Structure 1
C-alpha cells in the first residue's frame, strides 16, 4: 500500500523511479517504498496528501494535492492545517466553497494561508477566497462608519481616494508594513516639494502647471496620517485582520501651529515690496481694523453688521452664518452660539457647533448692539419689499432676498473689501485672532477670552490668539530698565 487513510484526508507516498520497460515513473507503485516487512522505507520516496474540496452545483470534483514532504509527520501537519481552514465554514457550504477556492488557488511550494488570518476575514465579513488589499479594506471601512459628521466623512474620503489608495491600495493588508507607509509619506513629501518649486519658478509655463494647486502643509500631512492610523486601528481591534498597526511606527514632522503676527508698519512695508506675509495668521492693528469697518459700512452695508460682530466678539464664519433670530437678545445684551453653517465641498451644511465649549453665551456691548439694531431695521425693509415671497429661514443674518448666506460668499466679499481698501491681507478667520488680541490687551483675562471664543482649553487660547500688538505694549517696554538703578554719569 502506498496510501494511508486519515480522518482529515489521504496521505500518499511516491517516488521518481521509472519502469525499466516503459520508462514511465512508478510513482506510488514503486516496490521500494516499503520494506520487506511491510513498513514504510524511511528514505525512499516523498510524502504527500490530498483533500476533497467543496464544490458549487455542476462544478467538477476538485482536490487539494500537495507533495514533497520528507516525513509523514510533516505531510500530516499540513493536511490538518488544510482541514482546519475548511472547518472554519462551520457547516456554511457557501463559505466552505470560498475556503476551497482559496486552497485550490495555492501554488505548489507556497505555504497555506494562516488560519487566524482567514478566521479574522470571516468574522469581518470579508470574502475568504479573495485577498483583501489595503484599498479594498479602506473602501469598506469608510462605508461601514456610522455617526460621522459630513465634513469628517468627506475628509476621510478625500484622504483615501487621493493618497492612500494610489500609494497603498494594491498592497494586501496582511502584508502592509511600516516601510510601505513611510515610502508613501516620502513620495508625498517629494511631490509637495515639486509643487513648491514649480510655484516659485521663473518659467510661466511651469507655474501654470500648478496654478490652483496648494502644497500640503505639516498639519494636513498629520491629518492624513490620523485617517490611516484610525483605519488600521480598526483593522486590528474590530475586524481583527492584522495583529498590529503598522502605522504606529511611522514618524512624521510635528505640525506646529503658526504663530500669529501683527501687521506692523515694517511688516506692511515688507509685504508691499515682496508680496510675502510674515505668517499665515495675521492680525490687524486696531487702526487697520477700523479702516476695514469704515470701508464695509460704506461699500457693503449688507454684511457690515456681520463683519463687525465677528471682529468684536470673535465668532467663526459658520457660527455667524448659522446664528438664528431667537439666539440673539439685544434687549438683554447677549447672543447664544448653538449651530453653524459650514461647507462640505461647496455644499452648505447646518450642524451643531463643534464642541460643548463652542455652545456658549456671549455678552454684547452697546456699540455692537447699536449696529445690530440698525441691521434689523434694514432687514425689515428688505422683508417689506419681498412681501409674501420672504422666506422664513429663522436666521439672523440673511441676504436681501431673505435667503441664507453661503459661507464662501462671505469670505469672497470680505477679501474683495480688503483688496479695495488697500489693507494688508488677513483671512476672515483671522478676525477671531484680532478679537482675541484686542480683548486681551484691553484688559480681559485669558479665561474671558477663552469663553468668548469657545475654546475647550485655556492653553489653546493662550498659544493661538494672544499676539502682541507692539504699539500697545510700548508702555511696559522699559519696565525692566526702569527698575535698574544707574549712575547719572559714567564711572
Structure 2
C-alpha cells in the first residue's frame, strides 16, 4: 500500500509497503521534449529516500545518472557482443566472446548488472584461478587414450580415438602424429593460468567501460581490481644455428619464401597469410604490412592488423629478396599453368591454383618441417620470438627491434624479452665497468 506523499519542488517521498520510495520528473528528452518519471524504492527510512533522490538529481545534472535496471550481466553481454564485432578486429571480438561465455557468464551471468561490484569481480578472479576451468581438454583426453593403448601394447587407430572423444577423424589423426614425435600436452589444472585470467580482466574492463557509456553502470567495477600477476618466463626460442638448420630443411618446401620471410622479419602468421603481392616492393627491398588473414571462431577473416603500429614497412635483406623473387616466379608459372581456373586473390602465399591457405595449415606444415629437421619443438609464433632474441643479442637497437615487430612501445619489447636474454645484462655490466674500473684480479674474481 502506498501512503501519502511528502513533496518538495519536483519530487516526493512516500511509503511503499514497509519501505520508502522517491519519485520526480526527469529532464526533457533531447529529441521528444517529454519528461520521464524517475522513481526508485527500497529505502529503509524516509531520510534515506530523500538523500537518494537528491543524489539522483545531482547525477542527472552532471550527466552521470544511471537509471535503475533489471538487466543482468548476461543481458548486457548479449547486447555487447554484436557491438564489439563491429568495433574491433575479428580475432579480438571472437576472443572476447569466448572468454565471456566460458569464464564470466557461467558464474555471474544471472546477477543484476548493477550489482556487479568490484568485490564480485575480485571473487570471480579468485575462483577462476583456483577452479575455473570449464572447457573440455579434448587434446588431453586423446593423449590419455593413446598413452593407455601404448602402455597396454595395443594399437589404437585415430578413428577409435575420434569416436571415443567426440572429435573429427582429421583432428585425431593430427593428434596421434603429434604424440608420436613427442609433442604431448601438459596435464590440465583445475584452475586457469594467470595469463588467461588477465585476459579475462582485459575483456571485462573493455566490456564494463561500454556498460558505463551505455548507462548500465555509473562506474567500471574492474577499475578497483588488480588482475593477477603473470609470471615472467622465457620463451622457447632457437639459436641462429638452429634457425639455419630449419631453413636448410625447408629449402625444398614450396613455401620456402614464407619460412625465410618469417625468420628474417618476425612477422606474425596472420601477416604472412594476408600478405598481398602489391605490398611487396622487391626493387626497394621493402614489405608493407597492410592486411591480415586470421582465424576467428573457426572462420577465416580478412583484417588490417592488430594496431596502427602493426601496419608498418619492413626493410628486407638480400637473401630474403632473392627467396621472394624465386617464390613470385613460381606463382607466375603456376598461374599460367592453371589458366582460367586460377583464383587470383593477390596473395603472396597461396595454393598452386591461387586459393588462400587456411592459416592452421601453415602451422601444421611448420611442425612437420621442425620434426623432419630434428630440432627442439617450438610453436610457429616462437619463430617471431627467436627473431627478436637473435636481433637483440646481435646488438640491434631495441627501438629498431620494437619497430620491426610492430610493438606498441620499446618498453613492451624489453619487458617481453628480458627473461630470454639475461646474458645481455651481464655483458652490459662488464662493458660499462670496463670504461672506468681497473681490471679485476683474476684470482680474486
TM-score, with length taken from structure 1 = 0.65
Aligned twin of 1:142: 81
Q: CA deviation at 1:344?
A: 0.7
Q: CA deviation at 1:359?
A: 2.2
Instruction: State whether residues 363 and 380 of structure 2, in contact with CA within 8 Å, keep that contact through their aligned partners in structure 1.
Output: yes
Work out the CA distance in 2 between the residues paired with 1:253 and 1:390. 51
Work out the CA distance in 2 between the residues paired with 1:337 and 1:322. 9
Aligned twin of 1:486: 441
Decide whether aligned partners of structure 1 residues 194 and 234 sit closer, same or farther in structure 2, where only a CA change above 3 A counts: closer
Instruction: State whether residues 302 and 399 of structure 1, in contact with CA within 8 Å, keep that contact through their aligned partners in structure 2.
Output: no
Query: 5+ residue gaps in structure 1?
Result: 1-64, 260-280
Decide whether aligned partners of structure 1 residues 356 and 149 sit closer, same or farther in structure 2, where only a CA change above 3 A counts: closer
Decide whether aligned partners of structure 1 residues 376 and 185 sit closer, same or farther in structure 2, where only a CA change above 3 A counts: same
Work out the CA distance in 2 between the residues paired with 1:346 and 1:162. 16
Greater RCO structure (CA 8 Å; 6+ sep): 2
Q: Which moved more, 1:425-434 or 1:180-189?
A: 180-189
Aligned twin of 1:159: 99
Q: CA deviation at 1:198?
A: 13
Describe the SS at the equivalent of 2:255: helix
Decide whether aligned partners of structure 1 residues 392 and 487 sit closer, same or farther in structure 2, where only a CA change above 3 A counts: closer
Work out the CA distance in 2 between the residues paired with 1:342 and 1:431. 18
Match of 2:204 among 228, 238, 242: 228
Aligned twin of 2:290: 338
Q: CA deviation at 1:426?
A: 1.3
Aligned twin of 1:182: 122
Query: 5+ residue gaps in structure 2?
Result: 149-163, 166-184
Q: Does 1:454 align with 2:406?
A: yes
Q: Does 1:363 align with 2:315?
A: yes
Q: Does 1:77 align with 2:31?
A: no
Decide whether aligned partners of structure 1 residues 198 and 346 sit closer, same or farther in structure 2, where only a CA change above 3 A counts: closer
Work out the CA distance in 2 between the residues paired with 1:66 and 1:385. 85
Work out the CA distance in 2 between the residues paired with 1:474 and 1:225. 36
Instruction: State whether residues 302 and 400 of structure 1, in contact with CA within 8 Å, keep that contact through their aligned partners in structure 2.
Output: no
Q: CA deviation at 1:321?
A: 1.3
Measured against aligned partners, the alpha-carbon deviations of 1:150-177 in whole angstroms (never above 9, x if no partner) come to 2222223223222222111222222333
Q: CA deviation at 1:373?
A: 1.7
Work out the CA distance in 2 between the residues paired with 1:155 and 1:196. 17
Q: CA deviation at 1:288?
A: 1.2
Q: CA deviation at 1:327?
A: 1.3
Instruction: State whether residues 233 and 245 of structure 1, in contact with CA within 8 Å, keep that contact through their aligned partners in structure 2.
Output: yes
- Structure 1 stretches of 4+ with a deviation exceeding 4 A read 79-83, 87-92, 106-120, 192-201, 203-215, 472-483
Q: CA deviation at 1:398?
A: 1.3
Q: CA deviation at 1:394?
A: 1.0
Work out the CA distance in 1 between the residues paired with 2:425 and 2:23. 76
Aligned twin of 1:317: 269
Q: CA deviation at 1:211?
A: 9.2
Instruction: State whether residues 129 and 194 of structure 2, in contact with CA within 8 Å, keep that contact through their aligned partners in structure 1.
Output: no
Match of 1:303 among 255, 258, 270: 255
Instruction: State whether residues 267 and 405 of structure 2, in contact with CA within 8 Å, keep that contact through their aligned partners in structure 1.
Output: yes
TM-score, with length taken from structure 2 = 0.70
Decide whether aligned partners of structure 1 residues 135 and 422 sit closer, same or farther in structure 2, where only a CA change above 3 A counts: same
Instruction: State whether residues 103 and 132 of structure 2, in contact with CA within 8 Å, keep that contact through their aligned partners in structure 1.
Output: no
- Counterpart mapping for 1:50-449 below 5 A: 65-66=1-2, 77-78=13-14, 84=23, 87=25, 131-145=70-84, 146-192=86-132, 204=144, 216-236=192-212, 238-259=213-234, 281-298=235-252, 301-449=253-401
Q: CA deviation at 1:212?
A: 9.5
Instruction: State whether residues 117 and 241 of structure 1, in contact with CA within 8 Å, keep that contact through their aligned partners in structure 2.
Output: no
Decide whether aligned partners of structure 1 residues 204 and 194 sit closer, same or farther in structure 2, where only a CA change above 3 A counts: farther
Work out the CA distance in 1 between the residues paired with 2:384 and 2:254. 20
Describe the SS at the equivalent of 1:188: helix
Aligned length: 387
Instruction: State whether residues 440 and 449 of structure 1, in contact with CA within 8 Å, keep that contact through their aligned partners in structure 2.
Output: yes
Q: CA deviation at 1:309?
A: 0.8
Work out the CA distance in 2 between the residues paired with 1:360 and 1:314. 13
Measured against aligned partners, the alpha-carbon deviations of 1:335-386 in whole angstroms (never above 9, x if no partner) come to 2221111121221121112223222222222211221122122222222221
